[in-house]
Structure 1
Amino acid sequence: MTITQEDELIGLKEIGRIVANAVEAMSTALEPGMTTAELDAIGRKVMEDEGAQPAPELCYGFPGATCISVNEEIAHGIPGDRTIRKGDLVNFDVSAEKDGFFADTGASFAVPPVSKAVLKLCRDGKRAMWAGIRTVATDRPLADIGNAVGDFARKNRYTLVKNLASHGVGRSLHEEPGEIATWPDRSERRRMTEGLVFTIEPFLSMGAEWADDTDDDPWTLFSAPRAPTVQYEHTIVTTRNGPIVVTLPG
């Protein structure tokens, strides 16, 4: 989506606020003994109380309102009877639609007690996302995002999952520009245009470089090789003065 008028930005900020509030509510409730289905119900209630529709269900028939991925799962985890335990690394990926606008956000949370390395991974996952966000401005190369995230990962001795990309969003959950790398990609020649709406969502890892599926279900993706991995995501709008982040709680 490319924003051309103020009411479009207002609509995006509204749905962005809703999905951000859902992540915040789920993370506040997160504790050992809960099931991922219970956490999903919390996120669903936040969205539906605000008149929003969970996008994974709406667009793809996903069996849940949110994606909840635990430990070796790094994306598209199906909410169900899995019980949260001490030491788990849990990712919430939340997207929704309201009044024809879509926004997408996500964050990872460690359930204490966890190692100092995992706590640092969570802090650095946010820093990697913001390294990419800070490159956003009209007419800059899209490749700047992946280069900035890649520089951060290399300097801090992390790997990046290279087959889960950022994407355009706004009038649908996934739209052009598609497959925006959050790792260095020499083939990327596109530029950011004024008003362009897309996600930035790097997957920072302590060893994984790919996301693999299995025969268990058609949705869940796992780290390959298996390693602690985090994802942080915002929906942003490109402007001449830099990025506008629309997925903020409030």
Structure 2
Amino acid sequence: MTITKQDELDGLKEIGRIVANTMLAMSKSLEPGMTTRELDEIGKALLEREGALSAPQSSYHFPGTTCISVNEEIAHGIPGDRVIAQGDLVNIDVSASKNGYFADTGSTFRVTPVAPALDTLCRDGRRAMQIGIEQVGNSRPLSGIGNAIGRFASDRGYTLIRNLASHGVGRSLHEYPEEIATWPTRGEKRRINKGLVLTIEPFLSTGGHWATDGNDGWTLYSEPHAPTVQYEHTIVATDRGAIIVTLPS
């Protein structure tokens, strides 16, 4: 989607606020002993209260309202009977629509106490996302996002999952410019246009390179197996950089 009018930006900001507030409330409720289904039910109630529709459900018939991925699961985890424990890494990914506008956000949370290395990984994962956002602006190269994130990751000894990309969003969950690499690429010549709506969501890992399918048809795992985190915002490109729409209020 390309934003051309203020009411479009207002609509995108509304759903951005809703998904951000939902993820924040879920993270505050996160505690050892609860199941991922119980955590998902919290998100479901909040989205319903705001009149928003789960994007994974409405777009892809996903068997949950939100995606909740624990430890070895790095994306698209199905909420269920898994019990959250101390030391877990829990990724919460919330995407939804309202009045025809879609927004997408995600974060990895620590269930304390965790090993210091995982604290560092989470901090650097969030920083990798921020570095990607800093590359966004009118007429700037799309490849700049992955190149900058790749330098950051390489300098600190991390790897990036190279088949889970950022994407266009706005009028649907996944749209033009489709996949946007968050790792260095060759041959990407496209440029970012003013008003373009997209996500920035690197998957930073201590050794994983690829996401592989599990047995349930949805959940993805790191290959090779390694701790992996994801942080994601929906943003709008402007002449002065990026507007982040998935901020809580």
Which TM-score tier does this pair reach, normalised by the shorter chain?
Answer: over 0.9
Paired residue for 1:51?
51
- Provide the rounded CA distance (Å) in 1 between the counterparts of 2:227 and 2:111: 13
- Provide the rounded CA distance (Å) in 1 between the counterparts of 2:42 and 2:189: 41
Residues 91-240 of structure 1 correspond to what in structure 2 (within 5 A)? 91-214=91-214, 216-240=215-239
Structure 1 residue 45: Cα displacement: 1.1
Q: After superposition, what is the alpha-carbon deviation per residue over 1:144-198, rounded to whole angstroms, capped at 9, x for unaligned? A: 0001100110111100000000000000000000110000011211100010000
Structure 1 residue 86: Cα displacement: 0.8
Paired residue for 1:242?
241
Paired residue for 1:61?
61
Residues 60-99 of structure 1 correspond to what in structure 2 (within 5 A)? 60-99=60-99
Structure 1 residue 26: Cα displacement: 0.7
SS at match of 2:78: coil
- Provide the rounded CA distance (Å) in 1 between the counterparts of 2:78 and 2:188: 32
- Provide the rounded CA distance (Å) in 1 between the counterparts of 2:110 and 2:224: 20
Q: After superposition, what is the alpha-carbon deviation per residue over 1:201-221, rounded to whole angstroms, capped at 9, x for unaligned? A: 00000110100012x201000
- Provide the rounded CA distance (Å) in 2 between the counterparts of 1:47 and 1:113: 30
- Provide the rounded CA distance (Å) in 1 between the counterparts of 2:91 and 2:154: 23
Query: Identity over the aligned pairs, expressed in percent?
Result: 67
4+ residue segments displaced more than 3 Å: none
Structure 1 residue 113: Cα displacement: 1.2
- Which blocks of at least 5 consecutive residues in structure 2 are unaligned? none
Q: After superposition, what is the alpha-carbon deviation per residue over 1:29-88, rounded to whole angstroms, capped at 9, x for unaligned? A: 011000000000111111110110010000000000000000000000000000001111
- Provide the rounded CA distance (Å) in 2 between the counterparts of 1:228 and 1:239: 34
TM-score where L is the length of structure 2: 0.99
Structure 1 residue 247: Cα displacement: 0.2
Q: After superposition, what is the alpha-carbon deviation per residue over 1:64-115, rounded to whole angstroms, capped at 9, x for unaligned? A: 0000000000000000000001111000011000000000000001111111
- Provide the rounded CA distance (Å) in 2 between the counterparts of 1:44 and 1:61: 15
1:13 and 2:13 matched: yes
Paired residue for 1:22?
22
